[in-house]
Amino acid sequence: MQLMAVDELREGMVLAQDVVSDAFVNIVTESTIVNQDIIDRLEKLDIEFVYVHSEMVTEEETDFSESEPVFDRLDGEEALNYNFNKTVGRIKNIFNDLKFGVADIKSEMDDTLDPLLHGIIDNNNILSSLRVMKYDDDYTLRHSVNVGLLSAMIGKWYGLSKQQVAELSLAGTLHDIGKSKIPRYILNKPGELSTQEFGIAQQHVVYGYEILKESLGFSEAVCEGVLYHHERFNGSGYPQGLKGNNIPLYARIIAIADVFDALTSDKVYQGKISPFLAADLIKSMSFEELDPEISNMFLKKLAEFYVGNKVLLSTGEEGEIIYLNKFSLTKPLIQVGTKFVDLSMKTEIKIKEVL
Ligand SMILES: [Fe+2]
């Protein structure tokens, strides 16, 4: 690790520490591969020095149009971040190409999702990975890859075959590909959409289905996973208002991943919320809108994962998750100093943040 002046930074260098502004706002996170956008942003914010790793990613490796090589010099988190960023870059290419009407989606996706999937799914490591992976770009792109990985992980926990898990990761990653055909002013509108705008935005599921059908190589199951990801278990979703198990399995899984990631990611107009608050919302949705069996399985895995984690409570106190309440998974027992707080009894106290 070495300290480097921002005006000497070059594309392909890897940040060794988070870059934080004077106001303690995280500007770029550790393990990010430097590109010109990041250099420009740092200069604009008058950041003079950053820490970088001594090794850098070569030019060919940062070129998202190249399929090789998988980044193996960096370990664990760095490799993960590299593969994540590479996949997001591919999605970006696809979205851009689709604006001109053509994109070779299948070959763009084939060799990039695999290494990422293996790094995460094989190790049941999705929840810590999602906290590691950072990408400073369009929310839709980052969200796409997160949903692909979360969907695949949920599929694996649900006992699906390797091939189904791979299909789910594709369908999840491409679930919002139809947004490439929706006008930007609607996608980026800060306030509520009018009824007419909402109707246009909803079309993204049909566009997504059509795009995948037209590009060769996607199974019907993948296409339908995209078409039906906004259907809701009680029939309140779109485009067809399908109910219960009439909604294809991939779409039911993607819906859960989509809601969870949207709630726990920083979006432009809404701060992120803790995984426990998101879990509470998913739990309440599981009575009506989301598949109850898959939701419950997901919540159980989620809660188990966070045992032993430090958390910030809505009281402002910090504590550690000690024990899960079997009947109320999202309200565990917390140790705060020498006292214990049972969130299933003290329902007014929430987990504000996982630290
Ligand atoms: Fe969507």
What is d(CA 272, CA 295) in angstroms, rounded to the nearest whole number?
Answer: 20
What is d(CA 92, CA 107) in angstroms, rounded to the nearest whole number?
Answer: 14
What is the Å distance from ligand 1's center to 257 Cα? 11
User: Domain with 84 in it: what CATH number?
Assistant: 1.10.3210.10
pLDDT value, residue 43 = 80
**CB-based contact 310:319 (threshold 8 Å):** yes
Query: What range does the domain containing 343 cover?
Result: 307-354
Same domain, yes or no, for 259 and 141?
yes
Same domain, yes or no, for 47 and 87?
no
Residue 289 included in any domain: no
**CB-based contact 176:144 (threshold 8 Å):** yes
pLDDT value, residue 65 = 34
pLDDT value, residue 226 = 98
What is the Å distance from ligand 1's center to 20 Cα? 33
What is the Å distance from ligand 1's center to 232 Cα? 12
What is the Å distance from ligand 1's center to 230 Cα? 6
Pick the closest to residue 123 from 149, 88, 91, 97 (CA basis). Answer: 149
Last residue of a domain, one of 229, 250, 272: 272
Which residue has better confidence, 140 or 197?
197
Q: How many CB atoms lie within 10 A of CB 336?
A: 15
What is the Å distance from ligand 1's center to 338 Cα? 45
Residues with CB under 5 A from ligand 1 (ion): 176
Domain count, the chain: 3
For residue 204, is pLDDT > 90? yes
Same domain, yes or no, for 112 and 81?
yes
Same domain, yes or no, for 78 and 182?
yes
Give the residue-averaged pLDDT of 8-14.
83
Residue 280 included in any domain: no
Give the residue-averaged pLDDT of 10-38.
72
For residue 125, is pLDDT > 80? no
Handedness of CA 208, 211, 216, 220 (dihedral sign): positive
Same domain, yes or no, for 251 and 137?
yes
Integer-rounded Cα radius of gyration of the chain: 21
Residue 256 included in any domain: yes
Same domain, yes or no, for 268 and 144?
yes
For residue 243, is pLDDT > 90? yes
Same domain, yes or no, for 139 and 20?
no
What is d(CA 14, CA 57) in angstroms, rounded to the nearest whole number?
Answer: 7
Share of the chain above pLDDT 70, in %: 84
For residue 294, is pLDDT > 70? yes
Residue 146 included in any domain: yes
Same domain, yes or no, for 31 and 80?
no
What is the Å distance from ligand 1's center to 176 Cα? 5
pLDDT value, residue 268 = 47
For residue 122, is pLDDT > 80? no
pLDDT value, residue 24 = 55
For residue 128, is pLDDT > 90? no
pLDDT value, residue 5 = 87
Residue 36 included in any domain: yes
Pick the closest to residue 151 from 230, 255, 257 (CA basis). Answer: 257
pTM, two decimal places: 0.73
For residue 15, is pLDDT > 60? yes
Which long-range CB contacts under 8 A does 153-162 form with residues at least 24 apart? 153/120, 153/121, 153/124, 153/126, 154/253, 154/256, 154/257, 154/294, 154/297, 154/298, 155/250, 155/253, 156/121, 156/124, 157/124, 157/297, 157/298, 157/301, 158/253, 158/294, 158/297
Same domain, yes or no, for 19 and 84?
no
What is the Å distance from ligand 1's center to 305 Cα? 27
Residue 287 included in any domain: no
Residue 260 included in any domain: yes
Residue 179 included in any domain: yes
What is the Å distance from ligand 1's center to 156 Cα? 22
Q: Strands 2-5 and 49-56, how do they pair?
A: antiparallel
Q: Could you report the per-residue pLDDT of 185-195, keeping only the tens digit for each?
A: 898 888 889 99
Least-confidence region, from 235-244, 245-254, 274-283, 339-348: 274-283
Maximum Cα–Cα distance across the chain: 62
Q: Could you report the per-residue pLDDT of 43-85, keeping only the tens digit for each?
A: 877 788 888 887 665 444 433 333 333 333 345 677 777 888 8
What is the Å distance from ligand 1's center to 144 Cα? 9
Average pLDDT, the chain: 82
pLDDT value, residue 135 = 55
Same domain, yes or no, for 122 and 157?
yes
pLDDT value, residue 58 = 47
What is the Å distance from ligand 1's center to 229 Cα? 7
